[in-house]
Structure 1
């Protein structure tokens, strides 16, 4: 080790994939003062104070999860610990989708964003209650529970934290209140000059009076005209009615036109995700722009600490009840198992979400001078079983697993208790 070492840390010998910089190859990454200092071949090990051999591993810009639920405690059983979903799972940045509202954003800033080791951003809920109890109480999400002026004011005053607006377009809401809530959310997005992220797929269930004449297959075609380029259609591969595949089993004809005029698609994996429907949409040429894990307390079992009763976080009677363990990296494996390439999936969790946040100059790349947010993954070859909530199984011949990440140059090993183990076929 040189006394006058050029770098504090050197990640040596890995396959660096940085879509934003056009890099894909064996490179070394030098880090100094918590920032990327160099990405090049054959950096001398003696030029660094500390060298980590990452030969045979993937070295990526810090992963960005576009669909997190980390307003822990305030959103009841729904909210997860930010760092468990984030840096402890190999993910350096999180976007909480609709947890905080204009009323509860100060608490989110103080107790979550400022306390977490992970970067945490928010897409502010269009609803005054935010994500209370994971939308377990649909009556809280009616039009008179939206304050357009207050939400715009909160979003504009908190630009560093609020990077978008979250709303819901699903059959239970439409049957109760029609399209009014979505119109209000779209107005908030326009006035705040922020993207609107729209949940599609059944969420609250139907009111006792039935569907009130609503047709789930018409929701997309009514909502899309309200949206602007850069707004996001979420849960395209949902197993619930109202996603990209209609009740006839066909990819909705309005989707391609929406993409052509600049709307974006986020996977929002979670327990909504259907391998059967995803394969159908992907085969029709629908390739998502971003990939969010959508981990929350209803679909992910957090093991209890040693010596305490091991009670699952899942509520089996809740429509979201699902897998035991999950991660963003596992969601990447899902898409690869469905036929997308690693090279197609990496931008979905790096450069594309950075653009969605309007932060491409700060995150999502390994350019010299940027904060050293780096994710290192192991790529296992073999035959592995992946299973969705419909009990459909796919065989993955490649399984990605997080090893560690750097957040501003600080190492965090992938030790989250929610990380799934590989299941051999």
Structure 2
């Protein structure tokens, strides 16, 4: 047989190739083998009829927490990410320099989900709900962070820092973690990912001025202090427009407390859209209001983005701007054989933000079949 798997009759949406049309997609040896109007069923060991459904590259979620048993945020990756269409995920700082080797050995290397990471500048990572990463400024260890990056460059994409005062960062630590994250990232030649809410500073302006092209501001639509909206005018801050112009990436990072309908609607009214859509999926939101990455995409469909626009932000854009790897986020021949078959279901759906505000949607994007490395993982 020429193909291990053939998906027939589906509508292929592949933003990296500019495709939104009926195409057959075939897989062999863990990769995409062929894409064409019609491919022969007789050449495939397994055939899936995707009539009336959408076929997309495997989704990329650039913000999750999948270090169960060590990080209090951690969830099992395969059941919550891969099974729901996120074939590649980036753990956003669950592990620091002291805990990353265990994360690699006991989670990354034994999971079917493809897992990459942002390394927390806090050496212990996000271990305890009772003690913040930066209860002491010494936890922000530049040398240890850089050493760990050098040992695991195949997996570590950048440096993560969380800045929320009191619960995460003590007053004595202040803004030190941000500057140490910048120092470590620059030394390693990598970007930083910043969680900015309610930091020890006057406004988001103080954080954005430290950020460079390729850095990621996650939780960009939260409603707390240090947000993208000016407190007086309610308009998007000038520093946000400037940061976008110079290439800072604004990421959704929905989470349990970081996505508000009113904030995203005001931002979109001024033309500010996220570069990437991510879930910030973890133990405190996997049963709502996030559930999975597909549910976050559904919320952006409700906000008026097209199916192509939301899928771009979880396929081609993160592949190019965050992962910086070829062969991922696309179903071009020779690419990694990860795909999702979706139904766009019609009905009445409650869509809740992180403040408890519920909007009523009329459509829901539902993953019905997940393909990993050219074979059906879940159907």
The answer to whether TM tops 0.5 is: yes
Instruction: Choose 362-371 or 34-43, whichever is displaced more.
Output: 362-371
Equivalent positions of 1:265-280 (< 5 A) are 265-271=250-256, 272-280=258-266
Please give the secondary structure, in 1, of the residue aligned with 2:181: helix
Q: Would you say the 8 A contact 2:327–2:336 is kept in 1?
A: yes
The alignment covers a number of residue pairs equal to: 375
Q: Structure 1 runs of 4+ off > 4 angstroms?
A: none
Residue number in structure 1 paired with 2:286: 300
Match 2:164 to one of 164, 170, 188: 170
Please show how residues 41-190 of structure 1 align to structure 2 within 5 Å.
Answer: 41-76=37-72, 78-133=73-128, 136-138=130-132, 140-172=134-166, 173=169, 175-190=171-186
Residue 324 and residue 226 in structure 1: after superposition, are their counterparts in 2 closer, same or farther (change >3 A)?
A: closer
Residue 230 (structure 2) pairs with residue 236 (structure 1): no
Instruction: Give the superposed CA RMSD.
Output: 1.8
Is the CA contact (8 Å cut-off) linking 1:273 and 1:389 kept in structure 2? yes
Contact kept? 1:90, 1:413, Cα under 8 Å: no
Match status 1:383 vs 2:348 = yes
The answer to whether the 8 Å contact 2:136/2:170 transfers is no
Deviation at 1:300, TM superposition (A): 2.8
Who is 2:339 aligned against? 374
Contact 2:253 2:279 in 1 (8 A): yes
- SS of the equivalent of 1:132 reads coil
TM-score when normalising by structure 1: 0.84
Alignment partners' CA distance in 2, 1:363 and 1:411: 17
Q: Partner residue of 1:222?
A: 206
Q: Matched residues in 1 for 2:306 and 2:224: separation?
A: 26
C-alpha distance in structure 2 between counterparts of 1:174 and 1:338, whole Å? 37
CA contact 1:164–1:196 (8 Å) conserved in 2? yes
Contact 2:253–2:278 under 8 Å retained in 1: yes
- Which segments of 5 or more consecutive residues in structure 2 lack a partner in the other structure? none
Identify unmatched segments of 5+ residues in structure 1.
204-210, 302-322, 415-425
Describe the SS at the equivalent of 2:110: coil
Question: How many angstroms does 1:405 deviate by?
Answer: 1.1
Matched position secondary structure for 1:114:
helix
Name the structure 2 match of 1:191. Answer: 187
3-state SS of paired residue (2:275):
coil
Alignment of 1:200-349 (within 5 A): 200-202=196-198, 214-215=201-202, 218=203, 220-248=204-232, 249-271=234-256, 272-301=258-287, 323=288, 326-349=291-314
How far did residue 410 of structure 1 move?
2.3
